Structure 1
Amino acid sequence: MASSTGESSGPTAGNPVAEQSRPTNANKSSFPLSQNNMDTPLHESLYAQGYEMRKKVVGEDYVAKALENGSGDFMRPLQQFATESAWGTIWTRPGLSLRDRSLLNLVMLTALGKWIELGTHVRGAMRNGATEVEIREALLQASAYCGMPAGMEAFRVADRVLNEMQEKGEMVRG
C-alpha cells in the first residue's frame, strides 16, 4: 500500500519483485471488460432464439431477474453464453420434446446436487407439460442411481417448488 509520501508499506514493502507480482485490475487485454461481450451479429441470432426459449421454459420473470443479476460487466458474458449455448443451441434442437428435456435436466441436476437450478427446472418441467407424477418418477429414478441423500434433497426442492406454484395459482397439486 502506498503511503502519502509514495512509499510502499505492508508485507511487500521494499520488495520490488513482490510488488510487481501483485495482481491489479489493470487491463492487459485488447478490450475493456465492459466491451468484451458477445454482442456481435454472429451471436445475436442464437441469443434471440435462446432468450425466447428460456422465457418459454422457466418464465419471463425468472429470465428478467437472471439477466438483471448477471448484467454487470463481469457476469454478462456468462448470461449470454448460457442463453446462446444451452437455450439457443440445445433447447431449440429437434429430436426431444421440451418435456423430455426438462425431465432429463431434473435427473442431471439431482446427480450434480445443483438444488437452486433443480428448483428452476421443476417449474420449467411443469410449464413444459410434465406431470407431477412424471417429475416424481424422474426423481425416484435419480434417487436409485444417484444415491438416497441426493434423491431426498431433490424431492424436498421439488415439493417446495410445486407448493409455491400451487400457492401462486400456477397449478393444482393432485
Structure 2
Amino acid sequence: MEDSRFEAGLAVRKAVLGKEHVEKSLASADPLSMELQKLVTEYCWGSVWTRPGLERKTRSMLNLAMLCALNRPHELKLHLRGALTNGCSKEEIVEVILQAAIYCGVPAAIDAMRTAKEVFSEA
C-alpha cells in the first residue's frame, strides 16, 4: 500500500508542482531529509490530494489561504505556481488573498500579494 500511495502521490505532486521541481527536491535530499520527502509524497500528495472530494483547483485555493495564514512565503510561491497550473486565474488568487486578509491579517495578505505579483510576473 505504501509504495502505491507514494507512486500516486508522486504523480500528483509532479502534475501540480512540476516534474523538474519534484525531481530536484528528491535528488537533493540526503538520507535524513529523504524521510520527509517520502512522508510528504505519501501523506500529503498520495493520501489527500488524490481524494475525489475536491478538485485540484479548490485544493490549491485552500492551500494558498492556509499558507498565507501561516506566513510561509517559500511554500506559498510554490503553491501559487501550482494554483495557476490547476486552473486558478490571477483574479481568483487575488480574491483568496483578500479573503485571507480579513481572517489572517493584513500583514500576511500584503506579503502574500507581494509573492503573488512575483509569481505572476514569472508566469
TM-score (norm 2): 0.97
The alignment status of 1:76 with 2:34, answered yes or no, reads: yes
Matched length:
123
- In structure 2, the partner of 1:48 is 7
The C-alpha deviation readout for 1:11-48, integer Å capped at 9, x for no partner, is xxxxxxxxxxxxxxxxxxxxxxxxxxxxxxx4210000
Deviation at 1:69, TM superposition (A): 2.1
- In structure 2, the partner of 1:152 is 110
Deviation at 1:66, TM superposition (A): 1.2
Q: What are the ranges of 5 or more consecutive residues in structure 2 without an aligned counterpart?
A: none
The C-alpha deviation readout for 1:66-86, integer Å capped at 9, x for no partner, is 11222x111011000000000
The alignment status of 1:60 with 2:35, answered yes or no, reads: no
- In structure 1, the partner of 2:98 is 140
- In structure 2, the partner of 1:20 is none
- In structure 2, the partner of 1:86 is 44
Counting helix residues as a fraction of each chain, which structure ranks higher?
2
Structure whose CA Rg is larger: 1
Deviation at 1:65, TM superposition (A): 1.4
Deviates most, 59-68 or 76-85: 59-68
Deviation at 1:102, TM superposition (A): 0.1
Quote the RMSD (CA, aligned, Å). Answer: 0.7
TM-score (norm 1): 0.69
Determine the C-alpha separation between the residues in 2 that align with 1:74 and 1:58. 23
Indicate the structure whose relative CO is greater, using CA pairs within 8 Å and at least 6 residues apart. Answer: 2
Letter in 2 for 1:150: A
Determine the C-alpha separation between the residues in 1 that align with 2:110 and 2:70. 13
Deviation at 1:121, TM superposition (A): 0.4
Determine the C-alpha separation between the residues in 1 that align with 2:37 and 2:2. 13
Letter in 2 for 1:69: S
Determine the C-alpha separation between the residues in 2 that align with 1:143 and 1:93. 29
